[in-house]
Amino acid sequence: MERSTFYGKYGKRLLDLIIASILLPVFVTTILLIAFLLLIVSGRPVFFTQERTGLNNNNFQIWKFRTMKCDKAQQGKVKSWKGGVPEQFVFKQSQDLRMTGIGKLLRKLSLDELPQIINVLKGDMSLVGPRPEVPEITTFYNTEQARRLYVKPGITGLAQINGRSNIPHGRKIFYDIDYVESCSFALDLKILMRTIRVVLSREGAY
């Protein structure tokens, strides 16, 4: 279950609503422009939706701008694991042939994540938390790894400001569980501020 602190119960959701309500009008022009460019350059669909595992192992539909080609035959399949997801497992690859030209740019600038502001407003996600993983991976979590599901997934988090796609699964789990145990208003503000620097530097983004 989610942390039982006052901030975890009430403050975190209030912070999400306030900031997301400010961000949506600010970025609405950017979102519309990106959608238009994707439609012209890459075609339909403009948005990519996918089932992800959220708080307490409940699934939801995440929204992103589509950055890959519409070729389901090329999509990778996750292997079956015993005893949990391997520590060195890496889901993303820096050279993915499915990526479109404009998709690479959107990922480098982290603009593909903008539609997730809607997920935050709906309550599926938080601004800060572990990144939402696909059920094909979370199904194989061991007891320790499953602890990252005790809080809502976030657009950004400790793992995102400490390496993003450059770190293996085991390291991400370490940061995610650290966040679950240390979640606070001060920590969320710190992560949000550091996220701005990480996004601008484009470190670990692909």
Residue ranges per domain, the chain? 6-201
* Cβ proximity of 178 and 130 under 8 Å: no
How far is 1 from 83, CA to CA, in rounded Å? 22
How confident is the model at residue 199, as a pLDDT? 87
How far is 54 from 150, CA to CA, in rounded Å? 9
Local structure of 155: helix, strand or coil: strand
How confident is the model at residue 90, as a pLDDT? 82
Report the pLDDT averaged over residues 68-77.
Answer: 62
- pLDDT (tens digit, 9 = 90+) per residue, 137-190? 999 999 999 999 999 999 999 999 998 777 899 999 999 999 999 999 999 999
Instruction: Provide CB contacts within 8 A for 14, sequence distance 6+.
Output: none
Phi and psi torsions of 66, nearest 5°: -70, 130
Assign 111 a pLDDT band (cuts: 50, 70, 90).
very high
How far is 65 from 62, CA to CA, in rounded Å? 10
Query: pTM of the predicted model, to two decimals?
Result: 0.88
How confident is the model at residue 108, as a pLDDT? 87
Q: Out of 16-25, 175-184, 191-200, which region has the weakest mean confidence (pLDDT)?
A: 191-200
How far is 65 from 60, CA to CA, in rounded Å? 17
How confident is the model at residue 1, as a pLDDT? 44
Is 206 a residue whose pLDDT tops 50? no
Local structure of 89: helix, strand or coil: coil
Assign 74 a pLDDT band (cuts: 50, 70, 90).
very low
Helices (H), ranges, the chain: 6, 12-41, 101-108, 116-122, 135-138, 169-182, 185-201
**H/E segment holding residue 48:** strand 47-53
Report the pLDDT averaged over residues 2-24.
Answer: 90
How far is 35 from 112, CA to CA, in rounded Å? 10
Is 73 a residue whose pLDDT tops 50? no
Contacts 24+ apart (CB under 8 A), 160-163: 160/131, 160/191, 160/195, 160/198, 161/191, 161/194, 161/195, 161/198, 163/203, 163/204
Is 76 a residue whose pLDDT tops 90? no
Assign 53 a pLDDT band (cuts: 50, 70, 90).
very high
How far is 9 from 2, CA to CA, in rounded Å? 8
Is 6 a residue whose pLDDT tops 80? yes
Average pLDDT, the chain: 89
Assign 25 a pLDDT band (cuts: 50, 70, 90).
very high
How far is 5 from 100, CA to CA, in rounded Å? 43
